[in-house]
Amino acid sequence: MSGICAGRVVVVTGAGRGIGREHALEFARQGAKVVVNDLGTDLEGAGRSGGPAQAVVEEIRDLGGQAVANCDDIADWDGAARLVKTALSAFGGLDVLVNNAGFVRDRMLVSMTEQEWDDVVRVHLKGHFLPLRHAAAYWRERSKAGEPVDARVINTSSGAGLLGSVGQGNYAAAKAGIIALTHTAATELEHYGVTVNAIAPSARTRMTEEVLAGMMARPESGFDVMHPANVAPLVVWLGSGESAGVTGRVFEVEGGMISIATGWRQGPGVDKGARWEVREIGEAVGKLLADAPMADPVYGTA
């Protein structure tokens, strides 16, 4: 199959359903060879099945593309290593890593358990770091051997990571961590020929259908703004050779809208040139707040 990613080898985590499935299918339509990773768990992260990943593989093959399934746990060191090795053994290389897998365990902070915190941070944040870590080691090895590297990492954050989200403290913290990881990795890996970007998508998934049922409802006619396939074109472009030079960015995408999140940056400041007295702080902070833009509201606030 020909297309913008012809011949590129792509790993997509959490690709058995929803947004990840659409990524995998569009990469295949654009000529990529795809490793479809999915544990096949339920919405709460329980149970395992190879069915969802294999079903997407069969869809890709029906399109005339090439794909293999992988059902390793991407938040496990050895599992993430096997995921990268799957791409190398099946297709002889790796060009693009799309970190997408995740689940939610929503609860207000005063009711959240330690396990609910740990589970969500593990799958989202650690589940981004480990595949990235093993892929980066492969690309560094190639670069040091003098081989050309033109690789891409696309991470998946969220509006919750950009702004916070009521009832999703664990998820929001993990997604915010993914943004910081993206910025750091973009800088560290640039000289190896690797770009690293993130997306903050808004689309219909198993997670969002429960939390935002009204917003995610399918329209009776016209453009389906929340269809998960709307996210894939941006991700596939970011995975292509055309996106060289675009790195360390966070893109929001919803329906037909693509925007760049500008994120945290140093704002107004005041330097006394000496240690502050406590009694002076209130006036100084008041002036800083007057000069600084208001933060966007947290998701879920009135």
**pLDDT tens-digit map of 4-22:** 999 999 999 999 999 999 9
**pLDDT tens-digit map of 184-236:** 999 999 999 999 999 999 987 766 555 555 555 666 778 889 899 999 999 99
**Domain limits for position 253:** 9-260
Mean pLDDT of 47-57: 89
Q: How far apart are the first and last CA of the chain?
A: 49
Selecting among 171, 202, 240, 243, the annotated active-site residue is 171
Return the structure tokens found at 165. Answer: 């989200």
Q: Is the per-residue pLDDT at 84 higher than 70? A: yes
**3 part of a folded domain:** no
**292 part of a folded domain:** no
Selecting among 126, 138, 165, 175, the annotated active-site residue is 175
Selecting among 158, 202, 240, 243, the annotated active-site residue is 158
Return d(Cα 200, Cα 265) in angstroms, integer: 18
Return d(Cα 251, Cα 14) in angstroms, integer: 19
Task: Map residue 82 onto helix, strand or coil.
Answer: helix
**182 part of a folded domain:** yes
Instruction: Please count the structural domains in the chain.
Output: 1
**285 part of a folded domain:** no
**pLDDT tens-digit map of 131-167:** 999 999 999 999 999 999 999 999 999 999 999 999 9
Min mean pLDDT across 50-54, 68-72, 88-92, 188-192 is at: 50-54
**246 part of a folded domain:** yes
> Is residue 299 flagged as an active site residue?
no
Return d(Cα 184, Cα 176) in angstroms, integer: 13
- Residue 102: what pLDDT? 94
Return d(Cα 286, Cα 58) in angstroms, integer: 60
Name the strand (E) or helix (H) holding 289: helix 278-291
Return the structure tokens found at 34. Answer: 């795809």
**296 part of a folded domain:** no
**275 part of a folded domain:** no
> Is residue 175 flagged as an active site residue?
yes
**295 part of a folded domain:** no
Domain harbouring 51, CATH code: 3.40.50.720
